[in-house]
A = this chain, B = another copy of it.
Amino acid sequence: MTEDRRPTLTTVAQRAQVSRQTVSNVLNTPEIVRPETRERVLRVIAELDYRPNVAARQLRTRRSSVLGLCVPPAADGISGQVLDRFLHALTEEAQRGGLRIMLFTAPDDEAEIREYENLRATTGVDGFVLANTHPRDPRTAWLAAHGVPFVSFGRPWDRGASSHPWVDIDGREGTRAATRHLLDAGHRRIAFLGWPEGSGVGDDRLAGFLAALDAAGLGPGGVVERCEDGVPEGEAAARRALVRDDVTALVCVSDSVALGAMTAVREADLADPARIVAISGFDDTPVAAAVGLTSVAQPVEDVAARAVALVRAQIHGDPVDTDRQVLIEPRLVVRATSPARH
């Protein structure tokens, strides 16, 4: 058990015959150091495998290069997957830019706010990423009021909510693309299986469906069945929609609902072999890929990249030249559940 400690700035300085400060400059402001000195110092750094101690740096600079992320107590079913993919992407993107992601949990919004305070005061976390904002969210208001850098994955859905930096995926455009795809495949009577009215995300997705119908001259309005998110719920909703004999395609608000719809459709297809009902889901979860479900994919990597850029700008106090609100286009992934009609 060797007890010798890691090299420090002083170790490097001695060995390179310069002052500590010069070594620090080589690392932080290399351009002000004479090239030959710089070379020599860099060589010693490599030789000794020197790495700066971030705790010491943080103590001095009051900057931790750490972002906090609250992981929700329970994964919310199948669609929870999206959040997990986002977490992977975020970690990767942050790391690429010299930032780290630190996790924490809280049972409710108030507790989460207390953790923000705590993490700021103790660990000196530089900023936060919120991944599950909801209407009337007290957390964004608190963070904004306290001047804490943050960004949310998800728009604020309240009318007149104070605007804060966010990145989101254009759900409306997603369902619009899915609906257009089904129209192109030859379907004329398409139903939408959505969530109960009032959820910002769900309403947004419904809007895209209606817009596509309208644009095709099939509007205004359309067949809409609503249900809570879930597989059996989706199955029941699909049954209700399929009562109408002319419905030949279902645009679903989520992969969970779509998975349930697939069961209902399978029965309907058996009852009337001439009636092949097409389906599209939303989120492009692994389940969708597994069962061959056409779905709308959320490019979480793009979201992560923009999100990191937005917090970083706030941390560095950079004037944010690009928009502080970013809407990202989703991508339709066509699979077996939406064949062209012959």
Chain A residues near B (Cβ < 8 Å): 1, 6, 49, 51-56, 58-59, 64, 66, 71-75, 77-78, 80-81, 84-85, 87-88, 91-92, 95, 100-105, 118, 121-124, 147, 230-232, 256, 259-260, 286-287, 290-292
Question: Considering the chains assembled together, what is the distance between the CA atoms of A287 and B262 in angstroms?
Answer: 14
Contact A290–B78 (Cβ < 8 Å) = yes
Contact A55–B124 (Cβ < 8 Å) = yes
The smallest beta-carbon distance between A125 and chain B, in angstroms, is 10
User: Which residues in B have their C-beta under 8 angstroms from that of A88?
Assistant: 71-75, 105
The closest CB in chain B to the CB of A289 belongs to: B77
The smallest beta-carbon distance between A300 and chain B, in angstroms, is 11
Given contacts A84-B75, A102-B100, whether A122 and B286 have CB atoms under 8 Å apart is no
User: Which residues in B have their C-beta under 8 angstroms from that of A53?
Assistant: 59, 122, 124
Contact B58–A55 (Cβ < 8 Å) = yes
Top 5 nearest A-B pairs (CB, nearest first) are: A231-B290, A51-B121, A55-B58, A101-B103, A91-B103
Question: Considering the chains assembled together, what is the distance between the CA atoms of A286 and B232 in angstroms?
Answer: 12
Contact A6–B121 (Cβ < 8 Å) = yes
Contact A286–B91 (Cβ < 8 Å) = no
The closest CB in chain B to the CB of A94 belongs to: B103
Subset of 6 A-B contacts with CB under 8 Å: A1-B147, A53-B122, A78-B286, A87-B103, A92-B105, A100-B102
The smallest beta-carbon distance between A35 and chain B, in angstroms, is 26
The closest CB in chain B to the CB of A118 belongs to: B51
The smallest beta-carbon distance between A262 and chain B, in angstroms, is 10
Contact A51–B287 (Cβ < 8 Å) = no
Given contacts A75-B88, A92-B73, whether A51 and B122 have CB atoms under 8 Å apart is yes
